[in-house]
Amino acid sequence: MERSWWWRVGLVGAVAIFSLWQLVPSWYYFKLPPDQRLGEAYDKSVPGWAPDAKRHLTLGLDLQGGILLALGVDVDRAVKAKIARRADEIAEHLKTKGLPYTAAAPDASGLRIAVATTDPAAVERETLDFYGAELYSPGGAPPGQVLFAFKDQVLRDFKVKAVEQAEKTIRNRVDKWGVSEPDIKRKANNQIQIQLPGFKDPDKAKDLLGRTAQLEFKICDDDNPVLDQVQSKLPPCPTGRDGLVFPLPAGGCWRVEQPTSGSRPITIVLADKRPELEATIASKLAPLLDPKKDVIGIGQADVGTDLDRHTYYMTYLLRAKTELTGDYIADAGTSVDTSGPGQGRPVVTFTMSPDGARLMEKLTTENLHKRMATVLDDTVETAPIIQGKISDRGQISLGSGRDYAKLQEEANSIALVLKAGALPAPVTVDEERSVGATLGPELVKKGTLAALVGLAVVLVFMAIYYRASGLVADVALVLNGLLVLAIMSVLGSTLTLPGIAGFVLTLGMAVDANVLINERIREEMRAGRTVKQAVQQGYGKVFLTIVDAHVTTLVAAVVLMQYGSGPVKGFAVTLTIGLLASMFTSIVVTRVIMDFLTRHDTARLSV
């Protein structure tokens, strides 16, 4: 035999072994009952020599059910956040230019930027020279102020991009989460629809996907005595030998703490429930503050043991300016605290980007020995004292008193959403459904049986009609099916009803290719050529026909894969894989076997 034949034999053998090896996890996956397939039982059942247990075929939402969520993106809040950020940028720009101004902040509507200045004309001219591509001055400002607003087209583009970014962020979170073949797409009215096949915990899905993950770093304004006034408006918090006495007074109470050695004592307000504390802040604390200088943050604490645990909420007086945001975080993960009162407990660690590291270093250098609050989704997670310069690395503590396993789960969740990126705006759950399998296990079983029976009939027909060459086609057909399933498992594809249709279609095209080859060989033998010559001529003359038939279908599959979504895309992916496998088995595998059977000039072959 020629050396090239041995190379082709080696290739075919390697493909066959790879296909069988790659399908081992799928074999053990489908052997288990559905309720055990995602648990420890499955991981233990897969042999150590097999591929990664995660590389298995799974069933889609239509075959196994799952979670369906429709999330609405609050683009109006995203616009107001953008306006607030631009106000800070304008303030910094005017400061660098040496122009006089006393404040730059959103106006009462939150939709325009009001700059208080003694020279309105100079401030307006400089700001529009620098930001004129996006901003304009609508006029109508009171004396001593200039108003700026975003142009309508800029706001429309920003809202569209906010929804696109939210979709991308959610997709990143789902991908890092490991849900197989989710269906995520934008809908009308700033909605994003998410389908999670096989996932059964809607609360966990909402927590992960709906978490805004807006991380902010703010400096605590502990030197400001403004909150001391609430001591005349609220009762003091009751304390006993072991600390606070629960339940706390209705409407909240106050206590005095000294956050740092040598600092002035500060007044904080506590309540048993967050809504209760929020109502007290709105009615009694907010009127005392200058919102341009300070805001109230809310943190959570847990005290006691598992049998006698109490959760309460407390206030933090924070500077209004957000010094740094989570946009500068390059990576995030979990670790264990090695120092301080939380030693041995899970924490979230993060790494800043180069720009973020520079800003963090500047921030911590300028605020040594002050507290820096880490605010995640409007909750103060931690407020440690800045003991030294911090640059590219930091950590977020999650409090104390809670169960270790729950803290670890929360740390993993926070790290995941920080790593995947923050949502550009809050989202609301507009629709939530736990979807049952629309086909059901019985129908899946019957469909599988029907496919196997159909495949068996085709194999028998090919063997009877084409005899020995039919058996060769049967070998190629079986290998084609194994190869398609193996590639799908490598890619982590999900079997949906349209995907199964695409799989069956590719098997039909593989049979069709072998029919073309065998019929051409018959014609060559009728023309008087030897078996060896007939095989060579048959494959040579039918090669372009097979390639043309597969490539034209492949073009359609690629278009569907590029522009389709959900079931359509699943069908296109399976069809594309099947077409490539069909060309390999029809042209390479059968040719290797035929060349072996007709290696002698006097060889015989029943076709």
Q: What is the pLDDT of residue 376?
A: 79
Same domain, 506 and 384: no
Same domain, 273 and 401: yes
- Identify whether 344 is part of a domain: yes
What global pTM score does this model have? 0.53
Would you call the peptide bond into 34 cis, given omega within 30 degrees of 0 as the criterion? no
| CA separation for the pair 70, 185 (Å, rounded) | 10
Residue 212's pLDDT band (boundaries 50, 70, 90)? low
Residue 51 has phi, psi (to 5 degrees) of -65, 175
Report the 3 state secondary structure along 177-243: HCCCCCEEEEECCCEEEEEEECCCCHHHHHHHHHCCCCEEEEEECCCCCHHHHHHHCCCECCEECCE
Checking if the pLDDT of 258 tops 70, the result is yes
Q: What is the pLDDT of residue 341?
A: 59
| 599: helix, strand or coil | coil
Provide the terminal-to-terminal Cα distance of the chain, rounded to the nearest Å.
Answer: 22
Checking if the pLDDT of 219 tops 90, the result is yes
Q: What is the pLDDT of residue 194?
A: 85
pLDDT digits (tens, 9 = 90+) for 109-118: 889 999 999 9
Checking if the pLDDT of 172 tops 60, the result is yes
Same domain, 467 and 578: yes
Number of domains in the chain: 3
* Domain stops at, among 151, 173, 205: 151
- Identify whether 161 is part of a domain: no
**Least reliable range by pLDDT among 40-44, 200-204, 414-418:** 414-418
Checking if the pLDDT of 272 tops 90, the result is yes
**Least reliable range by pLDDT among 90-104, 256-270, 445-459:** 445-459
Centre a 10 Å sphere on the Cβ of residue 361 and count the other Cβ atoms it contains: 15
**Least reliable range by pLDDT among 342-356, 466-480, 538-552:** 342-356
- Identify whether 13 is part of a domain: yes
* Domain stops at, among 118, 135, 151: 151
- Whether the CB-CB separation of 573 and 493 falls below 8 Å is answered with yes
Same domain, 510 and 403: no
C-alpha triplet 133, 135, 138: angle, nearest 5°: 135
Mean pLDDT of 11-33: 87
Same domain, 325 and 450: no
Checking if the pLDDT of 165 tops 60, the result is yes
* Domain stops at, among 135, 151, 167: 151
Per the prediction, the chain carries an average pLDDT of 83
C-alpha triplet 204, 206, 209: angle, nearest 5°: 105
Enumerate residues 6+ apart whose C-beta is below 8 A from 443.
Answer: none
Same domain, 475 and 505: yes
Q: What is the pLDDT of residue 249?
A: 93
The DSSP string of 101-142 is: -SEEEE-TTSSSEEEE-S-HHHHHHHHHHHHTTTEE----PP
Checking if the pLDDT of 462 tops 70, the result is yes
Q: What is the pLDDT of residue 304?
A: 75
Same domain, 265 and 413: yes
Residue 274's pLDDT band (boundaries 50, 70, 90)? very high
Q: pLDDT > 90: what percent of the chain?
A: 19
Same domain, 275 and 392: yes
**Least reliable range by pLDDT among 180-184, 254-258, 282-286, 550-554:** 180-184
Residue 178's pLDDT band (boundaries 50, 70, 90)? low
pLDDT digits (tens, 9 = 90+) for 148-158: 999 999 999 88
Residue 540: give the domain boundaries. 3-59+437-597
Same domain, 250 and 282: yes
- Identify whether 163 is part of a domain: no
Same domain, 426 and 482: no
Instruction: Write the CA distances from 188 to 70, 157, 192, 197, integer angstroms.
Output: 11, 16, 8, 23
- Identify whether 8 is part of a domain: yes
Q: pLDDT > 70: what percent of the chain?
A: 88
- Whether the CB-CB separation of 214 and 376 falls below 8 Å is answered with yes
Mean pLDDT of 349-363: 84
CATH number for the domain including 567?
1.20.1640.10
Q: What is the pLDDT of residue 213?
A: 62
Same domain, 32 and 80: no
Residue 288's pLDDT band (boundaries 50, 70, 90)? very high
- Which of 119-123, 182-186, 500-504, 599-603 reaches the highest mean pLDDT? 119-123
Higher-pLDDT residue of 498 and 158 is 158
Which DSSP helix (H) or strand (E) runs through 267? Answer: strand 266-271
Same domain, 421 and 496: no
Q: Which two tokens stand for residue 69?
A: 């969520």
- Identify whether 605 is part of a domain: no
Checking if the pLDDT of 478 tops 80, the result is yes
- Residue 423's nearest CA partner among 181, 172, 253, 226 is 172
Residue 489's pLDDT band (boundaries 50, 70, 90)? confident
Mean pLDDT of 67-93: 87
Checking if the pLDDT of 278 tops 80, the result is yes
- Identify whether 12 is part of a domain: yes
Mean pLDDT of 78-84: 87
Q: What is the pLDDT of residue 421?
A: 63
The single-letter DSSP state of residue 353 is: -
pLDDT digits (tens, 9 = 90+) for 364-404: 888 888 888 888 778 888 888 887 887 777 777 665 555 67
Checking if the pLDDT of 543 tops 70, the result is yes
- Identify whether 105 is part of a domain: yes
pLDDT digits (tens, 9 = 90+) for 308-353: 778 899 999 999 888 888 777 777 778 787 765 556 778 788 788 8
Checking if the pLDDT of 572 tops 80, the result is yes
